[in-house]
Amino acid sequence: MTSVRNLPVDALVELALTDDRRAVGRLLTLVERNGPEATECAMMLHAHGTGSHVIGITGAPGAGKSTLVGEMVQQMVDGGSHPAVLAVDPSSPLTGGAILGDRVRMAGVTEAFIRSVATRGHAGGLALAIPGAVRVFDAVGYNPVVIETVGVGQVEVDVTAAADTTVVVVTPGMGDAVQANKAGLLEVADIFVVNKADRPGASDARRDLELMLDLSHMTGQEDASYRPPILMTNSLEGEGHSAVIDAIETHRRHLVDTGQLAKRRRRRIEFEIESRLSTVFEQRMIELKTDQRWVDIVDTTTAGTIAPPAASQQVANLLLH
């Protein structure tokens, strides 16, 4: 039997570039594992970039993000786009397992490529896996690429914020807007969506967001010519999704017109390089801790022979060489 699962990376890349979904699916697995194949994949695909628009969607658990994404993606398909979705859900911290249910909420979306991703406990992994997966989709020609994350952990926020357009979803009545502010989502939002807008408190949530935006404008944002719109949607009734899609397009054009798009993408590359570096250093640090030289440095510092800053410098030198 032929199976793409045993093919080498170069063969997979070749197949994937013809939009063979099995090959794309397999490459995503390799990227997620962050092993040597992931590196190989990144090396081969980076040059194939097609400039897909990357949309991050985040918000509190239960905000209805998946349903919203499902509805939007269906409309994108109907409008002739070829979207892909990365739906990120937390792994169980105890067992490392996960139940990934976003496909249920996106049921009926048959044309888009949907990939469920578990956070797998280690934050650094996600910070590499997501850009890697986006690179695969971008190279194959999926556009836009939608990343959906729960906006709780810093890494999730960072990953989503590294998108071209970041949509923050809140729901009425639970202090979501305030929570979003605390989680640092307010600064990164290009578009706000108040979902489940039929519920009591929707207009309060909107007002809270307006107020916080007024404040942040007074303290000076980097891009004064753009004020994030606040849109009201109702996922169950399917209301307001075209407005979100329109707002994303408006934001995209704004990014292009003002030259911000290039800046954001540069920042994204920067973020990926930083993530890779910290992963490399973390890994070396782990290895170093099993090394006698680490033990010696700690021992001499404990004995008072050298001071901690000097010890750190010695460790840094070891890590760099």
Partner 1 sequence: MSDANDDPQQRWQAAYDASKLRDVPFETMSGVPVDAVYGDGPYPGEYPFTRGIHASMYRSRLWTMRMFAGFGTAEDTNGRFKELLGAGGTGLSTAFDMPTLMGRDSDSPWSLGEVGRAGVAIDTLSDMEDLFADIDLAGVSTSMTINGPAATALAMYLSVAEKNGVARSQLGGTIQNDILKEYQAQKEYIYPPRPSMRIVTDMVRFTTAEMPRWNPVSISGYHIREAGATAAEELAFTLANGFAYVEAALAAGEDVDTFGKRLSFFFNSHSDFFEEIGKFRAARRIWARWMKERYGATDERAMLCRFHTQTAGVSLTAQQPEINIARVAIQALAGALGGTQSLHTDSYDEALALPSDKAARIALRTQQIVAHETGVVNVADPLGGAPFIEWMTDEMERQAEDVFAKLDDMGNGSILEGVYAGIENGYFVGEIADSAYRFEREVNAGRRIIVGVNGFTDGDDGEANLLRIDQATEDYQRKRLDTVKRERNQVAVDESLASLTAAATDTNTNLMPPIIEAVRTYATLEEVAMAMEQVFGTYVEKAIV
Partner 2 sequence: MTDKTEQIRIVLAKLGLDGHDRGIKVVARMLRDAGMEVIYLGLRQTTDSIVAAVEQEDADVVGLSMHNAGHLTLAPAMVEALRQGDIDVPLIVGGIVPDADVEALEQAGVAAILGPGASAEEVVATVRSVVSEA
Backbone angles phi, psi at 57, to 5 degrees: -125, 125
Q: Which does 147 bind (CB under 5 to 8 A by kind): partner 1, partner 2, none?
A: none
Q: Does 277 bind partner 2 (CB under 8 A)?
A: no
Contact stretch for partner 2 (CB under 8 A) within 48-56, 113-121, 135-143, 166-174: 113-121
Q: Does 260 bind partner 1 (CB under 8 A)?
A: no
Contact stretch for partner 1 (CB under 8 A) within 103-111, 244-252, 261-269, 290-298: 103-111
Closest approach, Cβ 50 to partner 2, in A, equals: 19
User: DSSP string covering 207-235, please?
Assistant: HHHHHHHHHHHHT--S-TT----EEE-BT
What DSSP element (H or E) covers 170? strand 165-170
Q: Does 236 bind partner 1 (CB under 8 A)?
A: yes
Closest approach, Cβ 242 to partner 1, in A, equals: 17
Q: Name residues contacting partner 1, limited to 179-218 (CB under 8 A).
A: 200
Residues linked to residue 191 through DSSP beta bridges, in sequence order:
167
Q: Does 142 bind partner 2 (CB under 8 A)?
A: no
Which residue has tokens 């798009």? 261
Q: Which does 200 bind (CB under 5 to 8 A by kind): partner 2, partner 1, none?
A: partner 1
* CB-CB neighbours of 1 under 10 Å: 2
Query: Is the Cβ of residue 12 or residue 197 nearer to partner 2 in the bound state?
Result: 12
Q: What is the C-alpha R_g of the chain?
A: 22
- The rounded distance, in Å, linking the Cα atoms of 117 and 32 is 8
Q: Does 62 bind partner 1 (CB under 8 A)?
A: yes
What 3-state DSSP class applies to 286?
A: helix
Q: Does 137 bind partner 2 (CB under 8 A)?
A: no
Helix axes 260-288, 123-140, angle to 10 degrees: 140
Q: Which two tokens stand for residue 235?
A: 């996922």
Q: Does 105 bind partner 1 (CB under 8 A)?
A: yes
> Measured between alpha carbons, how far is residue 187 from residues 5, 116, 166 in Å?
41, 27, 10
Asked if residue 61 has a cis previous peptide bond (ω within 30° of 0), the answer is no
Contact stretch for partner 2 (CB under 8 A) within 96-104, 137-145, 172-180, 190-198: 96-104
Indicate the burial class of 47 (C-beta count within 10 angstroms; 0-12, 13-18, 19 or more). exposed
Closest approach, Cβ 206 to partner 2, in A, equals: 33
Q: Which of 15, 16, 26, 74 binds partner 2 (CB under 8 A)?
A: 26
Q: Which of 104, 215, 256, 273 binds partner 1 (CB under 8 A)?
A: 104
Query: Is the Cβ of residue 26 or residue 65 nearer to partner 2 in the bound state?
Result: 26
Q: Which does 67 bind (CB under 5 to 8 A by kind): partner 2, partner 1, none?
A: partner 1
Q: Which does 62 bind (CB under 5 to 8 A by kind): partner 2, partner 1, none?
A: partner 1
- The rounded distance, in Å, linking the Cα atoms of 19 and 16 is 5
- The rounded distance, in Å, linking the Cα atoms of 100 and 3 is 25
- The rounded distance, in Å, linking the Cα atoms of 198 and 212 is 22
Which residue has tokens 């909420």? 105
What does the binding site for partner 2 look like in residue numbers (CB under 8 A)?
A: 1-3, 5, 21-22, 24-26, 28-29, 33-35, 91-92, 94-101, 103-104, 107, 110, 113-116, 118, 120-122, 125, 283
What does the binding site for partner 1 look like in residue numbers (CB under 8 A)?
A: 62, 66-67, 99, 101, 104-105, 107-108, 200, 236
